Amino acid sequence: MTNRAWIFEHPPVGDDFDSALTFRDWPMPVAAEGQVLVRNLYLSLDPANRRWMAGPTYMPQIPTGAPMWGFVMGEVIASNAAGFKPGDIVGGVGTWADYSAVSTDGLDKIPDMGGLPLHTAMGLFRGPGGTAYVGTVDIGQLKAGDTFVVSGAAGSVGSLAGQIAKILGATVIGITGSAEKCAWLTQDLGFDHAIDYRHEDVEARLRALAPQGVNVYFENVGGAVGNAVAANMAKFGRVAVCGLTAQYNEERAPIGLDIMPLLLQGCTMQCFILYDYLDRLPDATAKLAAWHGAGRLKYHPDIRDGLENALDAFKSLFQPGGSHKGKLMVRVDPKAI
Ligand X SMILES: NC(=O)c1ccc[n+]([C@@H]2O[C@H](COP(=O)([O-])OP(=O)(O)OC[C@H]3O[C@@H](n4cnc5c(N)ncnc54)[C@H](OP(=O)(O)O)[C@@H]3O)[C@@H](O)[C@H]2O)c1
- Which positions touch ligand X (CB under 6 A)? 46-48, 127, 131, 152, 154-158, 176-178, 181, 220-221, 223, 225, 242-246, 272-274, 317-318, 320-322, 324, 328
Select 88 or 302, whichever has its Cβ closest to ligand X.
Answer: 302
Please state the closest distance from residue 23 (CB atom) to ligand X, in A: 22
Please state the closest distance from residue 225 (CB atom) to ligand X, in A: 5
Select 29 or 47, whichever has its Cβ closest to ligand X.
Answer: 47
- Residue 10 to residue 65: CA distance in whole angstroms: 8
Non-local (6+) Cβ contacts of 39 within 8 A are 74, 75, 77, 98, 99, 333
Report whether 122 contacts 74 (CB < 8 A): no
Please state the closest distance from residue 177 (CB atom) to ligand X, in A: 3
Report whether 314 contacts 307 (CB < 8 A): no
Select 118 or 153, whichever has its Cβ closest to ligand X.
Answer: 153
Select 79 or 156, whichever has its Cβ closest to ligand X.
Answer: 156
Please state the closest distance from residue 137 (CB atom) to ligand X, in A: 14
Please state the closest distance from residue 320 (CB atom) to ligand X, in A: 4
- Residue 258 to residue 272: CA distance in whole angstroms: 19
SS3 content of the chain, % helix, strand, coil (to 5): 30, 30, 40
- Residue 193 to residue 198: CA distance in whole angstroms: 16
Select 74 or 127, whichever has its Cβ closest to ligand X.
Answer: 127
Identify which of 88, 87, 48 has the alpha carbon closest to the alpha carbon of residue 71: 48
Report whether 174 contacts 193 (CB < 8 A): yes
Please state the closest distance from residue 233 (CB atom) to ligand X, in A: 19
Report whether 122 contacts 71 (CB < 8 A): yes
Q: How far is CA 69 from CA 2, 51, 60, 80, 248, in A?
A: 19, 11, 11, 21, 17
Select 40 or 176, whichever has its Cβ closest to ligand X.
Answer: 176
- Residue 250 to residue 244: CA distance in whole angstroms: 11
Please state the closest distance from residue 325 (CB atom) to ligand X, in A: 8
DSSP-assigned letter for residue 297: S
Beta bridge partners of 216: 148, 238
Select 48 or 297, whichever has its Cβ closest to ligand X.
Answer: 48
